[in-house]
Structure 1
Amino acid sequence: MTTPPNEDRKTLILTGASRGIGHATVKRFSSAGWRVITCSRHPFPEDCPWEMGPEDHIQVDLADPANTEAAIAEMRERLKAQGSRLNALVNNAAISPKGPGGSRLGVFETGMDVWQKVFQVNFFAPAMLARGLVEELKAAQGSVVNVTSIAGSRVHPFAGSAYSTSKAALAALTREMASDFGRLGIRVNAIAPGEIDTAILSPGTEKIVAEIPMRRLGTPEEVARTIYFLCTDQSSYVNGAEIHINGGQHV
């Protein structure tokens, strides 16, 4: 594939890029010729084979509002090479704290400091990023995709109360953003993955798989393909949707 001139390339900003769904999303967009600016808590790994990774990676702690604001300023600076246009923002980063031995943290077991950190990363950071980059998204008539979860609509056996409620709040935020951002020509949608075969699966997942109509886990690549669809003209009239990616688990 011939890479278009720098100012003509479409650009994606992706949080939580280091593994699982995020890593598969990087590969899907970069294979289509997009510039991908990745964001994570960790520095860019030296052993990663992705050629453009080091210069297009931003280390940011989304649990820290001040650090998040600084990262947004850095993103805006880097987007100047694309005429200050951003075609897609994917809010994928999330944390799901566990108790001893990986146990589920319910309402009573979750300290207020944990509640606040989970909501800062899973809910407030996506709002901050979208608001902070709205002019760049508007210039490109871009798209925002928020990664929610099947846990946002039911009590999940592994995902804790703080994680689940933060994802439910993110789904509601997606609807609000679709209304407000849609008037600016920016589409905002969400994907709600179920049990995806990533490193964060908990012991006992096989019991859930037996209840999924398709009788298997999803793959990060399947999720990445849906994210790509929502960020391209193929979904040009899709706004305010939350797409379930769970093999029918939600039914």
Structure 2
Amino acid sequence: MDLGDSDSLENAVLQIKERLQDNGSMLHALVNNAGISPKDEEGQRLDSLTTPMQSWRDVFQVNFFAPIMLARGLFEELRAAKGSVVNVTSIAGGRVHPFAGTAYATSKAALASLTREMAADFGPHGVRVNAIAPGEIDTSILSPGTEKIVETIPMRRLGSTAEVADTIYYLCSAPSSYVTGAEIHINGGQHV
């Protein structure tokens, strides 16, 4: 599916529903992990003065609207399974970040707020909604200069993708059955 295209999202929701029904499966978890953060021609972050309006729309479609469209579209399936939604926000949603652009940061802040709202709305139906807010994670898309940020992280290292995945798994599993509306920071103390 193309998260940047609302028609594609609607078709994907229908396909997911059909596949679940055909296989007699339940939807136990929905993890909204996609995110885009456009850069300028030199690969630098775009600020609030320079981000083209179409970029704002594109970023919010993928980073903010797609998660709520998927969760609403698959609500009945999540409710039937007493499932869990995990939204991936970012450390950039709570502070200005040297690499994350303004549209990305504000979309992730909005997603954190939406997570709380969804927890209140979905909770009475047995569906938990939480978020994780990663900081600097060791992936192939790290920006040049990240090594300087690591010097300011209390744990003095990057996080691993396995540490992020383990936290998501926890939020989708029985040990977290009374956790909803939370945003867990996975950043080695970078937010303190």
Same fold (TM over 0.5): yes
Q: Does 1:208 align with 2:149?
A: yes
Residues of 1 paired with 2:172 and 2:10: CA distance?
24
Indicate conservation of the 8 Å contact 1:84/1:136, yes or no.
no
**Equivalent residue for 1:117?**
58
1:11-47 Cα shifts (integer Å, max 9, x gaps): xxxxxxxxxxxxxxxxxxxxxxxxxxxxxxxxxxxxx
The offset of 1:108, in angstroms, is 1.0
Match of 2:165 in 1: 224
1:83 maps to 2:24: yes
Matched, 1:234 2:184: no
Q: CA offset at residue 155 of structure 1? A: 0.4
1:95 and 1:188 mapped to 2: Cα distance? 22
The answer on whether the counterparts of 1:188 and 1:240 sit within 8 Å (CA) in structure 2 is: yes
Return the offset for 1:81. Answer: 3.9
**Per-residue deviation, 1:85:** 2.1
Given candidates 78, 86, 91, the residue that maps to 1:137 is 78
Q: Which amino acid aligns with 1:89?
A: L
Mapped to 1, the partners of 2:50 and 2:143 lie a distance apart of: 18
Residue aligning to 1:181: 122
**Structure 2 counterpart SS, 1:100:** coil
Equivalent-residue separation in structure 1 for 2:158 and 2:180 (angstroms) = 27
Give the alignment's TM-score, normalised by structure 2.
Answer: 0.98
Pairing 1:92-111 to 2, within 5 Å after superposition: 92-111=33-52
Q: Aligned partners of 2:42 and 2:144: how far apart in 1?
A: 10
Deviating 4+ runs (over 6 angstroms):
none
Structure 2: unaligned runs, 5 residues or longer: none
Residue in structure 1 matched with residue 15 of structure 2 by the alignment: 74
- 1:249 Cα deviation after fit: 0.3
Whether the 8 Å CA contact 1:84–1:139 is kept in 2: the answer is no
Cα deviation 1:202-236 (Å, max 9, x = unaligned): 00001100000000000000000000000000100
Structure 2 equivalent of residue 169 of structure 1: 110
TM-score of the pair, normalised by structure 1: 0.75
Question: Per the alignment, in what secondary structure is the counterpart of residue 192 of structure 1?
Answer: strand
Question: Are 1:88 and 1:137, in contact at CA under 8 Å, matched by a contact in 2?
Answer: yes
Gaps in structure 1 of 5+ consecutive residues: 1-59
Q: 1:192 aligns with which of 123, 133, 136?
A: 133
- SS of 1:86's equivalent in the other structure is coil
How many residues get paired? 192
Q: How big is the alpha-carbon RMSD for the aligned residues of Structure 1 and Structure 2?
A: 0.8
